Amino acid sequence: AVLYASMYNIVFNLVVFSFGAYFVSSSGTVQVSMRERMQDMLRHMRSPAMIACFIALVLALLGITDLEGVIGRTCNMLGAMTPPASMLVIGSTLAKYNFAEMFGNWRIYPTALLRLMGVPALFYLIGSFFTTDMYMLGILALENAMPAAALGTMFCLTYGGDLKTMSQGMFVTTILSVVTIPLVTLALFG
């Protein structure tokens, strides 16, 4: 599963740091040229997270799956730091808004359900034409069922995008995912 997730994350990061950054920056208040966006994408491709994905992919392909000692403990420590660091970014962004405001945009709900349930279903349907490995397909579809991440918020902060709507989407998808992730997991592996 980690191998599949690493491979998926490499493709995901390529798409998000190219097209995602393009869409947010083209509608935001901070305008950057296409060349600057491509340079930014290449810089992100050399980020520690992407390098870690490539290393994990190489280690898994070489059959090295049990890292003990200093390297293994360091990787575990870094992995354990990621969720709290992400939560700090999310929390500091959400703290700017009234709690009731986070639920006030009715357009977020159909979008959130499409994101949390429609996208994994569509991914599974299309993916089934390309592979017969249902475990791999299920893992990747489940990864598509995750709530909106802090990355969208960071793009909005960087490019001057609509931070309020992004924060609402992130908040609502996170709340709804408490129900939708188990449902999608049951549908895929139940």
Q: What secondary structure does DSSP assign to 147-171, as a single string? A: PP-HHHHHHHHHHT--HHHHHHHHH
133 phi, psi to nearest 5 deg: -80, 95
Residues with Cβ < 8 Å from 78, sequence gap 6 or more? Answer: 52
The residues of the chain scoring below 50 in pLDDT are none
pLDDT at residue 1, rounded to an integer: 67
Phi-psi region of 69 (alpha: psi -120 to 50; beta: other; left: phi over 0): left
pTM of the model: 0.72
Cα dist from 170 to 21, 109, 141, 154, whole Å: 17, 11, 19, 12
**Cα(107)–Cα(169) distance, integer angstroms:** 9
Tokens (6 digits) for 57:
């992919």
pLDDT at residue 115, rounded to an integer: 92
pLDDT at residue 66, rounded to an integer: 65
What pLDDT digit, counting tens, does each position of 46-97 carry?
777 677 777 777 877 787 766 666 767 777 777 777 777 777 777 777 777 7
pLDDT at residue 179, rounded to an integer: 95
Tokens (6 digits) for 33:
């040229």
Residues with Cβ < 8 Å from 174, sequence gap 6 or more? Answer: 147, 148
